[in-house]
Structure 1
Amino acid sequence: MSPPRKAQSPAFSSTEFRIALGMFATGVTIVTARAADGALVGLTANSFNSVSLSPPLVLWSLSRSAGSMPTLSAGSHYAINILAADQMTLAERFATRNIDRWADVQFEVGVGGAPVLAGAAASFECFNRSRYEEGDHVIFVGEVERCAHRVGASPLLFHGGRYYTEHPL
């Protein structure tokens, strides 16, 4: 008997799916880039993961309908900034629509012009290596050209729709 060639339709709602996904605690990132016209782009994302050590690759995903999709899919570079526990307001700001996300935000210009946020727990400056369209999102794979971390910084965490800080067991 041959295996099925297609997944069965889900027996759960999108709300149930979101709640179940929320049980996986993640870090919080802000992905940043510079558009061809020089405009700064940034968004909060928790869909970040390592892919490979050699070459150094990371991935993250973005909704196809995101307003920043044209800039991020066409640009050569972006930075993934892992937020520190004291940067919750920055996470909320970059998740909010129709505001000036960059007002009073401190950053340095990184590889390829992508902004690297001041105070982040870690940063990964990436060449926009490849993209894969899956479902309603695009998966971005970045080749890390430079990375850094802040010694002693605690990361900002997200779980079940709320922000947390780490507490060792």
Structure 2
Amino acid sequence: MITSHIDGEPIGFTCQSFYSVSMSPPLVSFSVMSSSASYPKIRQAGRFAVNILSDEQVKISNQFARRGTDKWHGVDWQESPLGNPIIDGSLHWLDCEIYAEYAAGDHLIVIGEVKALNLQEAAATQPLLYYKGQYCNIAAHSAV
């Protein structure tokens, strides 16, 4: 889940892919459709948070994947050190400033420099994954 906050309005969407880019400096990346209504506001804010949802947050993931709805209805959140929304119940979060952006076909590749993070070492739940068109759990798949 990618979130930001600008002009008193929380912004967010379920991202299609997220991955590590570099350790020094600490960089991560996500891709977003070029036609996204949310991303131009995040670009304007210049910062974003990556919320790693738990496997108990499928409803929130689906809610943020829809266009034209009040994505934040019923979603509790706290402000990160950079001012980004951190969704309550997220397993982990990374607070980032936009480092670079690249056009790639019908998507944008956005790179963020990690400025703060929170890792829940003893989390009782698993991260929420979406694989082959459905939500799944890491434990349900054997190592390759």
Asked if Structure 1 and Structure 2 have the same fold, meaning a TM-score greater than 0.5 normalized by the shorter chain, the answer is: yes
Distance 1:47 1:65 in 2: 16
Partner AA of 2:130 in structure 1: F
Contact 1:83 1:156 in 2 (8 A): yes
> Partner of 1:161 in structure 2?
133
- Deviation per CA, 1:4-55: give whole Å up to 9, x if none: xxxxxxxxxxxxxxxxxxxxxxxxxx100012x2211100013100011111
Partner AA of 1:155 in structure 2: P
What SS does the corresponding residue of 2:103 show, helix, strand or coil?
Answer: strand
Contact 2:16 2:32 in 1 (8 A): no
Question: Within the alignment, does 1:32 sit opposite 2:3 as a pair?
Answer: yes
Counting only pairs closer than 5 Å after superposition, residues 39-58 of structure 1 correspond to structure 2 as 39-58=9-28
Structure 2, unmatched stretches of 5+, are none
Counting only pairs closer than 5 Å after superposition, residues 65-80 of structure 1 correspond to structure 2 as 65-80=35-50
Deviation at 1:61, TM superposition (A): 1.0
> Partner of 2:110 in structure 1?
140
Contact 2:13 2:64 in 1 (8 A): yes
RMSD between aligned alpha carbons?
Answer: 1.3
Partner AA of 1:158 in structure 2: Y
Bigger drift between 48-57 and 104-113 goes to: 104-113
Which of the two has higher C-alpha Rg? 1
Correspondence for 2:66 among 96, 111, 114: 96
Deviation at 1:130, TM superposition (A): 1.0
How many residues align? The count is 139
Partner AA of 1:146 in structure 2: A
TM-score, normalization: structure 1?
0.78
Deviation at 1:111, TM superposition (A): 3.0
Distance 1:56 1:115 in 2: 20
> Partner of 1:131 in structure 2?
101
Deviation at 1:129, TM superposition (A): 1.1
Residues 166 and 87 from structure 1, CA distance in 2 versus in 1: closer, same or farther, beyond 3 angstroms?
Answer: same
Contact 1:76 1:112 in 2 (8 A): no
Partner AA of 1:32 in structure 2: T
TM-score, normalization: structure 2?
0.90
